[in-house]
Structure 1
Amino acid sequence: MLPMLGAAGITLDRTAGQLGPRTLASAICERIRAEIIAADLMPGQKLNISLLAKRFSVSLAAVREALSRLVSDGLVEALDQKGFRVRAVSPRDLLDLTRTRIEIEGLALRHSIEQGGPAWEAEVRAAHERLLALPRLDPIGEPRCSDAWAREHRLFHEALVGACDSSWLLAFRTILHEQSERYRRLSTPLAPSERDVEGEHRRIVEAVLARDVEATLRAIADHFQRTTDIILAATPVLLGDALAA
């Protein structure tokens, strides 16, 4: 039997024994996760289990399990007797998230700088070059972050902390990155044209490769804070009541 291609592009291989319920839920979970992070599913949006099951051609139970996993990751909220919705956003949450992310990212960068060798340095340079080679904005349609650039941007920041050997620290960092990515995607149409994102990345790379921990921490804090400031300044234009709570 050939794999079934769900409406959202998930390959659902229904061959006996090749795709159990947990594997199916994982595939759906990752697709919904990607759509939440990319802001294709907007903050506060209700997630209708029946519609999602129909869209993915799967059972209600598989969708419910996928959404429950996303609740654990903080991307989805469970509503008492009312199903699920994409986790809401707010200025207070954004400020708390940014402060925490600066602290955790800083710790991971410090470990990486202290422990990284020539191979790590080479990967940082390579990841930076790959990012520079891509346009940041999608050239077609509404102004939004290019999916290809977003993928390389994630890999670039992962390369920076690639020599950190603390699995717990990196796990917390990933959670914070996903939450921050939602806000960053929402901020893209608002970012002033004079913002020099490439320059921000270059300063981070230079400080990291110079093994200058304090300069690295300042550069990463500035990089994260600029996105936060842009969102907070333009909140009424972007989401109105969604971010005004």
Structure 2
Amino acid sequence: MKTVEPIDIGASLAERAYRDLRQAIVRGEFEPGARLRVDELARRFSVSSSPLREALNRLSEQGLVRILENRGFRVAPLTAAGVSDLARVRLLVECEALRDSMRHGDDAWEAQVVAAGHALGLSERRLGNEARALDDDWSARHRSFHLALYAACTSPLLRELADVLFDNAERYRRWAARHRPVPRRKHDEHQQLLNAVIGREEEKAIALLRTHITRTEQLVAATLHGVSGDGVQ
């Protein structure tokens, strides 16, 4: 008779608290620098303080939360220096992940990338001139497309880092989209990247990804400077 492993309720609660809080921070539901009070979060997410503290500590390791000495937790600030550093690391991690993925990706991976790119394109055509970064459906498809590009990377650590870095960048993108007067149009960028990837044009795909990440950094930094000088605390 097969043994059924007991469910770790504490671990599942901590994972849910982590997932829900991470999503709320990335979506901008908490202002940069906002105090994160455990008791208030416990009521909001219907969990006890223990899994919330575990979630907050995990998020601090990923750069989304700051731990203050004897003063609890705050949402990480958004700064020009921060987005510049983030872009620098994204270029190192994501370009290497894409290169490795293109070298090892099989037909199933390529089909996954094409499907994700098609789904993203459908969303972009539906939205037209609306601010896409603030649309939850577009954001989910955008995330799926980028992570699909790296899905065949043979390094689990690189894939995990790409996931974390993408969410950090998403928080900056969403904030900038709310404050930028003219929305960015990215369909051509995504389509060109998709075409280069499925065409196995490695150097072209890497160059397009570098431009894509750098352009995001430049637009976010310009918005940060325009709104509040050095950033949002």
- Name the TM tier (shorter chain): 0.7 to 0.9
- In 1: Cα distance, 2:186 partner to 2:157 partner: 29
Read off the aligned partner of 1:192 and give its amino acid letter. Answer: V
Alignment of 1:93-242 (within 5 A): 93-135=82-124, 145-189=134-178, 190=180, 192-193=182-183, 195-238=184-227, 240=228
Change (3 A) 1:202 1:84: same
Q: For residue 231 of structure 2, what is the aligned residue in structure 1?
A: 243
- In 2: Cα distance, 1:142 partner to 1:152 partner: 15
C-alpha displacement of 1:18:
5.8
Question: Which stretch has the larger CA shift, 198-207 or 18-27?
Answer: 18-27
How many correspondences in the alignment?
226
Query: Are the equivalent residues in 2 in contact too, given 1:137–1:146 (CA < 8 A)?
Result: no
- In 2: Cα distance, 1:211 partner to 1:218 partner: 13
Supply the RMSD in Å over aligned alpha carbons: 2.5
Structure 2: gaps (5+ residues): 1-5
Q: For residue 43 of structure 1, what is the aligned residue in structure 2?
A: 32
Query: Are the equivalent residues in 2 in contact too, given 1:38–1:182 (CA < 8 A)?
Result: yes
Percent of residue pairs bearing the same amino acid type: 34
SS, match of residue 77 in structure 1: strand
Read off the aligned partner of 1:82 and give its amino acid letter. Answer: R
Structure of higher RCO (CA pairs closer than 8 Å, 6+ residues apart):
2
Change (3 A) 1:66 1:244: closer
TM-score for both structures, normalised by structure 1? 0.83
Query: Are the equivalent residues in 2 in contact too, given 1:43–1:242 (CA < 8 A)?
Result: no
Change (3 A) 1:143 1:129: closer
Q: For residue 3 of structure 2, what is the aligned residue in structure 1?
A: none
Change (3 A) 1:89 1:79: same
C-alpha displacement of 1:62:
2.8
Structure 1: gaps (5+ residues): 1-16
- In 1: Cα distance, 2:190 partner to 2:9 partner: 42
SS, match of residue 123 in structure 2: coil
Read off the aligned partner of 2:211 and give its amino acid letter. Answer: D
- In 2: Cα distance, 1:83 partner to 1:136 partner: 44
- In 2: Cα distance, 1:191 partner to 1:121 partner: 36
TM-score for both structures, normalised by structure 2? 0.87
> Which of the pair is proportionally richer in helix?
2
- In 1: Cα distance, 2:142 partner to 2:60 partner: 25
